[in-house]
Amino acid sequence: MEMPPLISIVIAVFNGAKTLQQCIASIESQTYSHKELIIMDGGSTDGTVEILERNDVAIDYWESQKDRGIAHAWNKALEHASGDWIIFLGSDDRLHDVEVLSDVANIIAESKTVDLVYGRIIFEGGAYDGLEFGSQNDLEVIKRRMAVPHTATFHRRKLFTEIGKFDEQFQIAIDYEFFLRKKLTAHFMDRIVCVMGGVGMSSCLVKKSLSENRRAQIKNRADWRVKIELLYALFLLRHQLLHWRTKVRIHDSN
């Protein structure tokens, strides 16, 4: 009989004492038992460590050390995760209901070759309170914009062996850059997976988010429009250089 898939839940946290307990409780209450919880704390000083100590039995691995950001925390977590599938949450997120992992496991059993299984998120609090994000998408759309809610996405473990870990040069578009590295296959589950606290970093830092998305597209040669714009920029530069050289020659001849 085939063993049920082990699902790793990774939480990156820094000074998240106000919401971390609720996040942990949402994982501990899951009806699906074949799971592991890994929490990477970036050296919190607000009582987060005390929460981790109180929940030590429910956590398979945790540490509290300064890190270089979210991507670094996720990459360190991958060294300790042994799950066949992995999801990444923030300390102010939580799984929507007790059947989330059970429903995901059923889909995984049917979708043996996909890279991702993802659903929807719902925002709680802030300007986007009650708004849902995530739908069935042709993943080609990712070349133009981030169309998959990362906190509602389960990654096949082999994906990290195939295309590498997260790029620590990115602070916001970490997930987007990762998704652009190959033509992904995915299964969309039409249900809310994650309740996301606040509005998310990318919504708060819109200008930086757009800039990083652009960098991710260029790095992975993902968007044909980016290529056209780069070619056009090179054309203009060449035109300006030719114009400058012509002016220099005319000046020298006089």
pLDDT at 46 over 70: yes
pLDDT at 204 over 60: no
List pLDDT tens digits, range 208-244. 888 888 899 888 886 655 555 555 566 677 767 776 7
Single out the residue of 87, 73, 2 nearest to residue 36, CA to CA: 87
* Domain locations along the chain: 7-222, 225-254
What per-residue confidence (pLDDT) applies to 100? 98
The pair phi, psi for residue 174, each rounded to 5°, is: -65, -50
Instruction: Kindly state the average pLDDT of the residues 85-104.
Output: 97
What per-residue confidence (pLDDT) applies to 154? 98
What per-residue confidence (pLDDT) applies to 9? 98
- What Å distances lie between residue 86 and 75, 126, 187, 189, CA to CA? 12, 27, 15, 16
Ranges of H-type helices in the chain: 20-28, 48-54, 70-78, 100-110, 158-163, 174-179, 201-204, 206-219, 224-253
**Residue 118 and residue 116: Cα distance in Å, rounded?**
6
pLDDT at 200 over 70: no
- Least confident range from 43-52, 116-125, 137-146, 235-244: namely 235-244
**pTM (2 d.p.):** 0.83
Question: How many CB atoms are closer than 10 A to CB 154?
Answer: 30
Q: How far apart are the first and last CA of the chain?
A: 89
pLDDT at 61 over 80: yes
Return the structure tokens found at 237: 């530069």
- Looking at domain 7-222, its CATH superfamily turns out to be Spore Coat Polysaccharide Biosynthesis Protein SpsA; Chain A (3.90.550.10)
